[in-house]
């Protein structure tokens, strides 16, 4: 872990809803653009935002396959928390964002990594869902609660999303 400055920004991404995850990344990118070290800690449903599109089921048992089947695989499958309307709302919102040149989630994720935002992924959630590091996009670090709190303690800004 790099040396810790005391004015970091740390966002716990608990939600897996498209709109909330987008908000998290927009905030993170805003903060990193202003020169701050930013950490995102993905836990519970939030982990869906950093899963690979083409997650393999090899080596997973029945219940792990069921989780994999029921949850969105990767950033392109997340839905709005509200007004999803069987997908129409989510589709319409994305279309509108493209028209307005607002960055969509996959771009936000890529941009975040290029700007040096750290991606930490909750090891307890990974264990619960039967995920391994191979199921996550590149650049993710497995992390436990202690690592999270060390970062939070060095952060002047902590959100739960």
Q: Interface residues with a second copy (CB under 8 A)?
A: 12, 14, 16-17, 19-20, 23, 26-27, 30-31, 34, 43-45, 63, 66-67, 70-71, 82-83, 89, 92-93, 95-97, 99-100, 102, 124, 127-128, 145-146, 148-149, 152-153, 156-161
d(CA 20, CA 90): 13
Q: Which of 143, 135, 159, 1 is nearest to 57 (CA)?
A: 135
Backbone angles phi, psi at 116, to 5 degrees: 90, 15
Q: How far is the CB of 34 from a second copy (least distance, A)?
A: 6
Closest CB 114 distance from a second copy, rounded Å:
18
Shortest distance, position 138 Cβ to a second copy, whole Å: 26
Listed in order, strand segments (DSSP E) in the chain are 8-13, 38-42, 118-122, 140-143, 155-160
Cβ distance to a second copy smaller for residue 27 or 137: 27
Residue 126 token pair: 């990974």
Give min distance, CB of 95 to a second copy, in A.
8
């Amino acid at each position: 872990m790099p040396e810790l400055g005391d004015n970091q920004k740390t966002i716990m991404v608990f939600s897996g809803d498209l709109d909330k995850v987008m908000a998290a990344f927009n905030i993170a990118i805003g903060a990193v653009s202003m020169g701050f070290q930013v950490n995102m800690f993905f836990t519970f449903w939030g982990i869906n935002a950093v899963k690979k599109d083409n997650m393999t089921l090899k080596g997973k048992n029945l219940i792990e396959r069921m989780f994999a089947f029921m949850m969105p695989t990767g950033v392109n499958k997340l839905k709005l928390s509200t007004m999803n309307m069987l997908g129409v709302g989510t589709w319409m919102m994305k279309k509108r964002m493209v028209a307005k040149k607002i960055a969509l989630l996959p771009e936000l994720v890529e941009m975040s990594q290029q700007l040096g935002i750290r991606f930490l992924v909750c090891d307890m959630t990974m264990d619960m869902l039967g995920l391994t590091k191979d199921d996550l996009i590149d650049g993710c670090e497995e992390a436990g609660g202690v690592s999270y709190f060390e970062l939070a303690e060095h952060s002047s800004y902590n959100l739960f999303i």
